[in-house]
Chain A
Amino acid sequence: QLQLQESGPGLVMSSETLSLTCTVSGVSISGDNFFWGWIRQPPGRGLEWIGSTYQKGDVKYNPSLRRRVTISVDTSKNQLSLKLFSVTAADTAVYYCAREPAGDSGGFLDSWGQGVLVTVSS
């Protein structure tokens, strides 16, 4: 059974780097059929897609965050990682990892982790 579990510091200082890990169990992250991505949700607000990566190196980012974000995959650990640089209070959010079917009909998010709240403090 597929499970995604986010982990990382719940508090990050302003101007520093937010680093999160998503551990995937129940399926290999190196398979051909899925992207693996990150979505965030500021408290009480809507969802914002951050970006997704495909194990063969294809990575796509939200244009509004592209300059500050890196998403990568560690296939040996079956993990997905997120780095968001130069954070501000506006980056305070619940961060989710999720699976996205690849291919012509993909693009929706069919499995999600439980999310982790990251607060940016000055």
Chain B
Amino acid sequence: SAVISQKPSRDICQRGTSLTIQCQVDSQVTMMFWYRQQPGQSLTLIATANQGSEATYESGFVIDKFPISRPNLTFSTLTVSNMSPEDSSIYLCSVEVGGGESYNEQFFGPGTRLTVL
């Protein structure tokens, strides 16, 4: 298993500013992911955070808007840039841990609840 912490747990920000969210894992993991959960919606994968290389973004998400860092195997950051009210969501970090079977289990952080005014 893996224990994941995120900072901040919540924030209220002004339009046009940026917020960086931190994700810390208690063990080294290869795969880390960032998700967005908009109000009343499901989780949508933003990107895969790759250690030592650029993140891999899903369709509809771009690096200029959501820059990601992954300096080592236990830590990653997601920045939400030039925020607008439409960015108000819960942002979740997750990691993949080998389950010893044909799939690898993902563990999720507690999330960062962002409100943009």
Partners in one complex: no
Q: Which residues of A contact B (CB under 8 A)?
A: none
Q: Which residues of B contact A (CB under 8 A)?
A: none
